[in-house]
């Protein structure tokens, strides 16, 4: 057990990021009170809590949906829940738990119908999903229109299930959702290993005797339960966004499943709570759309800023690489020209050097002059002493790499990833380097 507690550097960084994000999320409450002059009345607290619990659940289960490439299945499942709400209302009246059970059954029926079509016809998944999505949704709308014609006041609020309405959430709803949520999370924790296995390598799981069909069905059932619970808040049309956005955002920050799930839970809770509160404060803003907007902002933030994968960092890395290549290529051009036209310090004419490498030469010349490797000589560029040393060093490094490629195996040199930016002399052990240097041409020896 002790061995498991030692974490790798990447793991440590992941957990540090998660801790930081949780801290920021927690700080958000006092900050919003200070800056936006928010008042956390009883209603707002209930709504925020409900949003946070539902967001947390969606984040956890949504991570699996994202990894299994079933994002659009979530869309179909949530649309398919609508007729269940209407039928449950017709049969049992406006009791939230019955409505949710009805929604769950309808959604599950949609899922079974989907696999029936896929198993017995040649329709592909996208068309089958489209059929289930729109047919179930149309049935729901038709039933809701029928219900609206019933002269009975209690039907009010059923259409909140379409776009979601946070303001309608009351304390008993939060209790119900939390109770079911605890069960769902417990099942996820219990079957963690199995879910991980079927998500990443179902064939391997099957070969090892796990009952994939059963595990998949359980995971799908949990996703259905989550979708159904979230309907009140996000509505059938936009539930898919609440389900998958936290997972997509979390995926950018980490490479491990446990970190991803926890982070998705945090993101989901944040988006759910903030979206619900904003829409509870302004009744003109429906909740589902607001949660989607907040979640998408989190995704945008993650895609640009996440360390490693983030677009910002990869752009910066590309830029730095381009600059380095510009400098080293210009240096090589100058050195090659000088050697071909006399000695190492022969200046190369400006228009020649610009003609050879049009795009990057400006940046290269500027960098080299800044670092004192070249100087202006009349209408041309001449290598300085340090420039000549650097060019020689570079040429020797490239030769060594060439030789390593040619003779590495026959000399029994240790395996290196071929990255020619690296100094091979530093990467190889001294004895190996000596062997390699013996292959150098006499003129290149030091």
Partner 1 sequence: MMPLERWLIELLLNIVSREELNAFLRSPQNSAALVGGLIAVSGALLGAFLLLRGMSLTSDAISHTVLLGIVVAFLLMTEFFRVPGDTSSPWLILGASLAGVATVLLTELLYRSGLVRQDAALGLAFPLLFAIAVILVSRYVEDAHLDEDAVLVGEIGLAWANTNSHCFANCESVTITPDHDAAKFARQCRNCRELGISPRDERAIFSETCSNCGLYSPAQAWTAGLLEREPELVFFPKSITVMLLLTLLTLAFVLLFFKELKLSTFDVGLAQALGFRPGALHYALMILVSLVAVGAFDAVGSILVIAFFIIPPATAYLLTDRLSLMLLLSPLIGAAGAIFGYDLARGQLFGFIAVADGIAALNRLSGLALPEEWDSSISSSMVLMMFILFLLVWLLSPRYGLASTVIRRAKRRRVFENQVVLAHIHNHQHTATHEIELNAADLHEHFRWSKQKMSRVLTRLRALGYVRILAGNAVLTERGDRQVHAFRQTMLEAHNMPDLPA
Measured from the CB atom, the residue of 66 and 269 that comes closer to partner 1 is 66
- Quick check: 230 binds partner 1 (CB under 8 A)? no
- Quick check: 153 binds partner 1 (CB under 8 A)? no
b/e for 138-172, b at 16 or more Cβ within 10 A? ebbeebbeebeeeeeeebeebbbbbbbbbbbbeee
Q: Which span (143-151, 195-203, 318-326, 389-397) binds partner 1, by CB under 8 A? A: 143-151
Q: What are phi and psi of 374, to 5 degrees?
A: -135, 160
- Quick check: 440 binds partner 1 (CB under 8 A)? no
- Quick check: 80 binds partner 1 (CB under 8 A)? no
- Quick check: 145 binds partner 1 (CB under 8 A)? yes
Measured from the CB atom, the residue of 221 and 303 that comes closer to partner 1 is 303
**Least distance (Å) between residue 91 CB and partner 1:** 7
DSSP string, 142-205: HHHHHHHTS--GGGTTTTHHHH--GGG--HHHHHHHHHHHHHHHHHHHHTHHHHHHHHH-HHHH
Measured from the CB atom, the residue of 292 and 365 that comes closer to partner 1 is 292
Give the residue, chosen from 71, 155, 226, 330, that forms a contact with partner 1 under the rule CB under 8 A: 71
Positions 81 through 120 that interact with partner 1 (CB under 8 A):
90-91, 117, 120
- Quick check: 299 binds partner 1 (CB under 8 A)? yes
Which run of H or E residues covers position 383? Answer: strand 380-383
Query: How many residues in the shown chain lie near partner 1 by CB under 8 A?
Result: 57
Which run of H or E residues covers position 377? Answer: strand 374-377
- Quick check: 70 binds partner 1 (CB under 8 A)? yes
**Least distance (Å) between residue 139 CB and partner 1:** 6
- Quick check: 69 binds partner 1 (CB under 8 A)? yes
Give the residue, chosen from 47, 48, 57, 162, that forms a contact with partner 1 under the rule CB under 8 A: 162
Give the residue, chosen from 24, 27, 134, 312, that forms a contact with partner 1 under the rule CB under 8 A: 134
Residue whose pair of structure tokens reads 């991570």 in the numeric block:
63
- Quick check: 238 binds partner 1 (CB under 8 A)? yes
CB 227 within 8 Å of CB 77: yes
Burial class (CB in 10 A: 0-12, 13-18, 19+), 423: middle
- Quick check: 208 binds partner 1 (CB under 8 A)? no
Tokens, residue 94: 């406006």
Measured from the CB atom, the residue of 294 and 334 that comes closer to partner 1 is 294
Burial class (CB in 10 A: 0-12, 13-18, 19+), 218: middle
DSSP string, 274-289: HHHHHHHH-TTS-HHH
Nearest to 28 by CA among 244, 20, 406: 20
Give the residue, chosen from 96, 118, 185, 285, that forms a contact with partner 1 under the rule CB under 8 A: 285
Nearest to 327 by CA among 279, 377, 383: 383
- Quick check: 194 binds partner 1 (CB under 8 A)? no
Instruction: Draw the binding track, 37-66, toward partner 1 (x: CB under 8 A; -: no contact).
Output: -----------------------------x
CB 278 within 8 Å of CB 167: no
In terms of phi and psi (left: phi > 0; alpha: psi -120 to 50; beta: otherwise), the region of 412 is left
Three-state DSSP class for residue 428: coil
- Quick check: 312 binds partner 1 (CB under 8 A)? no
Q: Which span (19-27, 203-211, 241-249, 261-269) binds partner 1, by CB under 8 A? A: 241-249
Q: How far apart are CA 410 and CA 408, in angstroms?
A: 6
Give the residue, chosen from 284, 410, 419, 441, that forms a contact with partner 1 under the rule CB under 8 A: 284
Q: Which span (25-33, 145-153, 183-191, 419-427) binds partner 1, by CB under 8 A? A: 145-153
Give the residue, chosen from 290, 326, 388, 436, that forms a contact with partner 1 under the rule CB under 8 A: 290
Q: How far apart are the first and last CA of the chain?
A: 54
Q: How far apart are CA 266 and CA 18, in angstroms?
A: 8
Measured from the CB atom, the residue of 106 and 117 that comes closer to partner 1 is 117
Give the residue, chosen from 51, 84, 181, 286, that forms a contact with partner 1 under the rule CB under 8 A: 286
Q: Residue numbers of the site for partner 1 (CB under 8 A)?
A: 66, 69-72, 74-75, 90-91, 117, 120-124, 126-131, 133-135, 137-139, 141-143, 145-146, 149-150, 162-163, 237-238, 240-241, 244-245, 248, 252, 284-286, 288-290, 292-293, 296, 299, 303, 309, 311
């Amino acid at each position: 057990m002790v061995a498991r507690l030692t974490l790798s550097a990447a793991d440590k960084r992941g957990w540090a990021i998660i801790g930081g994000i949780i801290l920021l999320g927690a700080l958000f409450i006092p900050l919003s009170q200070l800056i936006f002059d928010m008042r956390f009345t009883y209603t707002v607290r209930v709504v925020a809590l409900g949003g946070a619990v539902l967001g947390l659940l969606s984040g956890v289960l949504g991570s699996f949906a994202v990894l299994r490439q079933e994002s659009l299945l979530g869309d179909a499942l949530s649309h398919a829940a609508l007729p269940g709400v209407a039928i449950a209302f017709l049969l049992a009246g406006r009791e939230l738990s019955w409505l949710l059970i009805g929604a769950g059954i309808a959604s599950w029926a949609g899922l079974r119908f989907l696999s029936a079509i896929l198993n017995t016809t040649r329709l592909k998944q996208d068309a089958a999903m489209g059929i289930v999505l729109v047919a179930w949704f149309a049935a729901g709308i038709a039933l809701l229109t029928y219900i609206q014609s019933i002269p009975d006041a209690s039907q009010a609020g059923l259409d909140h299930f379409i776009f979601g309405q946070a303001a309608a959430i009351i304390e008993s709803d939060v209790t119900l959702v939390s109770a079911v949520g605890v069960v769902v999370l417990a099942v996820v924790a219990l079957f963690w290993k199995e879910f991980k296995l079927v998500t990443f390598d179902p064939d391997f799981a099957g070969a090892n005797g796990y009952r994939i069909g059963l595990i998949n069905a359980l995971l799908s059932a949990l996703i259905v339960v989550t979708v159904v619970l979230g309907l009140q808040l996000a509505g059938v049309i936009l539930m898919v966004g609440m389900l998958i956005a936290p997972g997509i955002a979390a995926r950018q920050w980490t490479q491990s499943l446990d970190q991803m799930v926890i982070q998705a839970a945090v993101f989901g809770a944040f988006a759910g709570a903030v979206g619900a509160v904003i829409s509870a404060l302004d009744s003109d803003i429906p909740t589902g759309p607001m949660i989607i907007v907040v979640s998408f902002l989190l995704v945008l933030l993650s895609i640009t800023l996440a360390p490693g994968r983030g677009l910002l960092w990869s752009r910066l890395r590309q830029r730095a690489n381009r600059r380095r290549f510009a400098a080293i290529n210009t240096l090589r051009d100058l050195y090659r020209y000088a050697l071909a036209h006399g000695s190492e310090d022969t200046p190369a004419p400006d228009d020649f050097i610009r003609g050879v490498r049009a795009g990057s030469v400006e940046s290269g010349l500027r960098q080299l002059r800044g670092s004192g490797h070249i100087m202006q000589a009349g209408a041309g560029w001449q290598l300085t002493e340090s420039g000549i040393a650097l060019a020689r060093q570079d040429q020797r490094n490239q030769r060594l790499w060439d030789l390593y490629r040619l003779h590495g195996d026959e000399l029994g040199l240790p395996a290196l990833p071929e990255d020619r930016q690296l100094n091979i002399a530093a990467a190889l052990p001294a004895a190996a380097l000596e062997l390699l240097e013996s292959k150098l041409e006499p003129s290149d020896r030091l």
